[in-house]
Amino acid sequence: MEIHEQLYLGDVVEMRKQHPCGSYQWEIVRVGADIGLVCLTCKRRVLLPRRQFARQAKKFIKRGAQAQGDQAPTTG
């Protein structure tokens, strides 16, 4: 399965491959032609081309504030 959803800053994703530090979880810090990710455990920063990111990402752990805003429930 590949992730083809809209990406937002602050999203936390679980990757298929384990980082050398032992973590699978990364936070999205840049959304462009390349996706910027910071390892939540060792804080190492990497850039992945979108296509590569989509292949390596497994699922969303947490959606960023912007994503939550898009899905805000209507009240009243």
Contacts of 23 (CB under 8 A, 6+ apart): 39, 40, 41, 42
Q: Closer CB to Zn ion, residue 23 or residue 56?
A: 23
Beta pairing, strands 12-15 & 25-31: antiparallel
Interaction pattern, residues 4-43, with Zn ion; x per rule: CB under 5 A: ---------------x-x-x---------------x-xx-
Round to whole Å and give the CA distance between 32 and 65. 18
Binding of Zn ion by 65 (CB under 5 A)? no
Q: Closer CB to Zn ion, residue 4 or residue 17?
A: 17
In the complex, the residues that contact Zn ion under the rule CB under 5 A are 19, 21, 23, 39, 41-42
